[in-house]
C-alpha cells in the first residue's frame, strides 16, 4: 500500500501532492477499518464454550482448558441447552457408542448428539429459556468404557474441588410410566478423573427405581490407583423422594431442585438440597448434613468429596478438578429411557440461583 502511494506522488507536481496525500490517508483509514472488521468476523467463528443463548461461544473461551484451576467461589455457569451453536456450552457430548467384537468402538457413535440430547421447545416441555433437553438412552448406546453399560453424557469441567463452594440448580421431568432400570440409573453426577481417583458414584442422583429418586454418596478416603477395591470411607444411599421417603416422587411434571455445597474430603463438608414440584409456590428443604439444618432428611455431617493418599483431593495441588456428567447411565437394558432436563446452572448465592426458576402462577 505504501509503495502505491509513493508512485502516485512521483507522478504529480508539488501543487497536487497535498491532495494526493489527503486521498491516500483516507484510503489507509478504509483499509484499517476493513482489517478490524475481518478480524472480528474471524473471531465470531470461535467454537469454544458458549456465553449463553444466541451467542457464538467466544466469550467463555478463557474457561477452556482451565479445569486444573480450582476456585473457592467459582464463577456463574449456565448449562441450559440454549446456546448456539447447539451444545457449545458443554465441553463434550458422548451420545453412546457401538460395540464391535465385544469392544467399544469410539469412532462409531451410536447416534448424533441431537438424538441423545434432543433440544425440545414444545409447550410444557421447557422449564427455563428456549429449550430443554429430552435425554434419550436407547439399547446399544454403550458407555465409552464398556459394552456392558449404556450411557449418554453431557460433560463439563467445573473448576471446583477441595474447599470450593457453589450453588447449583436444575429441573427434571420424568414421564408418567417411567420404567427405571434393572441396575443403576444415574441422571447426573459430580465426579472425578478416574485415572487418579478410580472410584464411582461420588455424588450422584439415581432414578433406577420406578417410583423413587435417590442421592448416592461415595466420599472420604478411597483406594489408590491399582487397588482392586473401590470402597470409600463414607458410603450412603438416601431415598430423597418415593414411598419410603418423606415425600412421594412425582412423574409427568417438572421438579425443581437447588443445592448448596462446600467440598471437603478429609472432614465434614456441607450439602443441602431443596426441591418443589411444578405448581408449588415454595421450596422445601429436602436434605441437609448441617446440624440443626431443619430438613426433611437430616443427616449427620459427612465428607462431600473423595481423596486418596497418592493424589490427594480433586483440585488440590494442581490436580484436575471436578466434572459434571449428566444424561443417563445404566447397565444394558432392552428398552429406552427418556426424560427432560433443563436449567442447569451455577450461581454465587441462594438468591441468584433461585431467581432462575419460573415464578409459579
**Looking at residue 70, what is its pLDDT?**
73
Segments of 222-322 assigned E as strands: 234-241, 255-262, 270-277, 284-288, 297-298, 306-307
Stretch among 55-69, 125-139, 199-213 having the lowest mean pLDDT: 55-69
Instruction: Let me know whether 28 and 128 are in one domain.
Output: no
Residue 234 in contact with residue 217, Cβ under 8 Å? Answer: yes
Instruction: Kindly state whether residues 37 and 87 are assigned to the same domain.
Output: no
**In terms of domains, do 139 and 256 share one?**
yes
pLDDT band at 71 (very low <50, low <70, confident <90, very high): confident
pLDDT reading at 24 higher than 80: no
Residue 318 has a pLDDT of 94
Residues 164-195 have pLDDT tens digits of: 999 999 999 999 999 999 999 999 999 999 99
Residue 311 pLDDT greater than 80, yes or no: yes
Instruction: Give domain status of residue 50, yes or no.
Output: no
pLDDT over 60 at 46, yes or no: no
Cell of 123: 409447550
pLDDT confidence of residue 131: 98
286 assigned to some structural domain: yes
309 pLDDT above the threshold of 70? yes
CA distances 62 to 65, 210, 330, 359, Å, are 8, 42, 34, 33
Claim to verify: residue 283 and residue 349 sit in the same structural domain: yes
Are 269 and 206 contained in the same domain? yes
Give the per-residue pLDDT at 288: 98
97 and 174 share a domain? Answer: yes
- Asked if 289 and 186 touch (Cβ cutoff 8 Å), the reply is no
On whether both 248 and 296 belong to a single domain, the answer is: yes
Which of 321, 301, 299, 284 shows the shortest CA–CA distance to 239? 299
Query: Averaged over 6-20, what is the pLDDT?
Result: 39
- Name the nearest CA neighbour of 340 among 168, 142, 128: 128
Q: Measured between alpha carbons, how far is 111 from 291 in angstroms, rounded to an integer?
A: 47
pLDDT value of residue 57: 65
The answer to whether residue 97 is domain-embedded is yes
Rounded to whole angstroms, how far apart are CA atoms 84 and 76? 18
Of 207, 80, 95, the closest CA to residue 150 belongs to 95
Q: What angle do CA 74, 358, 286 make, to 5 degrees?
A: 65
**Does one domain contain both 147 and 6?**
no
- 170 neighbors 355 (Cβ within 8 angstroms): no
Q: Structural domain of residue 277, as residue ranges?
A: 62-354
Q: Are residues 26 and 159 both part of a single domain?
A: no
| pLDDT of res. 108 | 87
Collapsed DSSP state (helix, strand, coil) of residue 19: helix
Does residue 359 belong to any structural domain of this protein?
no
Cα 54 versus chain centre, distance = 18
Kindly report whether the global pTM for this prediction surpasses the value 0.85. Answer: no
Contact call for residues 141 and 152 (beta carbons, < 8 A): yes
Interval 4-30 mean pLDDT = 39
Kindly indicate the confidence band of residue 141, based on its pLDDT and cuts at 50, 70 and 90: very high
Asked whether the beta carbons of 60 and 151 are under 8 A apart, the reply is no
For 356, other C-beta atoms within 10 Å of its C-beta total 20
Look at residue 229 in the predicted model and tell me its pLDDT. 92
Q: Is residue 55 part of a domain?
A: no
Residue 361 within a domain? no
Q: Are residues 184 and 262 in the same domain?
A: yes
Per-residue pLDDT tens for 229-278? Answer: 999 999 999 999 999 999 999 999 999 999 999 999 999 999 999 999 99
Per-residue pLDDT for 61 more than 70?
A: no
Q: 102 with 163, same domain?
A: yes
Whether the pLDDT of residue 27 is over 90: the answer is no
| 340 shares a domain with 227 | yes
Q: Are 186 and 203 in contact (CB under 8 A)?
A: no
Read off the CATH number of the domain in which 294 is found: 2.60.120.200
Residue 226: inside a domain: yes
In eight-state DSSP terms, residue 262 is: E
For residue 12, being part of any structural domain is answered with: yes
Neighbouring C-beta atoms of residue 130, cutoff 10 Å: 14
What's the total number of domains in the chain? Answer: 2
pLDDT tens readout for residues 95-111: 999 999 999 999 989 99
- pLDDT at residue number 56: 53
> How far is 85 from 235, CA to CA, in rounded Å?
40
Amino acid at each position: 500500500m505504501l509503495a502505491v502511494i509513493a508512485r502516485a506522488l512521483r507522478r504529480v507536481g508539488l501543487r497536487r501532492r497535498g491532495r494526493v496525500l489527503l486521498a491516500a490517508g483516507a484510503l489507509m483509514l478504509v483499509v484499517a477499518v476493513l482489517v478490524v472488521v475481518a478480524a472480528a468476523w474471524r473471531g465470531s467463528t470461535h467454537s469454544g464454550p458458549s456465553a449463553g443463548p444466541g451467542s457464538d461461544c467466544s466469550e467463555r473461551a478463557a474457561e477452556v482448558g482451565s479445569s486444573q484451576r480450582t476456585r473457592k467461589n467459582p464463577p456463574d455457569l449456565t448449562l441450559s441447552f440454549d446456546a448456539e451453536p447447539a451444545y457449545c456450552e458443554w465441553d463434550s457430548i458422548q451420545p453412546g457408542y457401538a460395540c464391535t467384537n465385544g469392544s467399544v468402538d469410539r469412532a462409531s457413535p451410536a447416534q448424533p448428539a441431537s438424538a441423545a440430547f434432543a433440544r425440545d421447545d414444545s409447550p410444557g416441555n421447557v422449564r427455563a429459556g428456549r429449550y430443554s433437553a429430552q435425554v434419550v438412552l436407547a439399547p446399544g448406546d454403550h458407555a465409552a468404557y464398556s459394552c456392558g453399560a449404556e450411557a449418554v453424557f453431557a460433560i463439563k469441567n467445573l473448576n471446583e474441588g477441595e474447599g470450593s463452594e457453589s450453588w447449583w440448580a436444575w429441573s427434571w421431568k420424568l414421564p408418567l410410566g417411567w420404567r427405571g432400570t434393572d441396575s443403576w440409573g444415574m441422571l447426573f453426577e459430580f465426579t472425578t478423573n478416574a485415572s487418579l481417583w478410580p472410584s464411582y458414584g461420588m455424588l450422584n442422583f439415581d432414578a433406577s427405581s420406578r417410583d423413587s429418586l435417590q442421592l448416592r454418596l461415595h466420599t472420604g478416603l478411597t483406594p489408590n490407583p491399582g487397588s482392586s477395591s473401590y470402597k470409600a470411607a463414607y458410603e450412603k444411599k438416601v431415598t430423597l423422594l418415593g414411598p419410603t421417603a418423606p415425600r412421594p416422587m412425582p412423574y409427568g411434571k417438572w421438579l425443581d431442585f437447588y443445592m448448596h455445597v462446600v467440598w471437603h474430603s478429609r472432614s465434614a463438608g456441607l450439602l443441602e438440597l431443596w426441591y418443589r414440584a411444578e405448581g408449588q409456590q415454595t421450596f422445601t428443604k429436602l436434605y441437609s448434613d448441617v446440624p440443626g439444618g431443619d430438613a426433611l432428611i437430616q443427616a449427620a455431617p459427612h465428607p462431600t468429596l473423595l481423596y486418596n493418599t497418592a493424589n490427594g483431593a480433586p483440585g488440590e495441588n494442581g490436580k484436575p478438578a471436578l466434572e459434571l456428567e449428566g444424561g443417563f447411565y445404566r447397565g444394558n437394558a432392552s428398552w429406552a429411557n427418556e426424560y427432560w432436563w433443563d436449567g442447569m446452572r451455577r450461581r454465587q448465592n441462594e438468591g441468584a440461583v433461585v431467581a432462575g426458576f419460573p415464578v409459579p402462577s
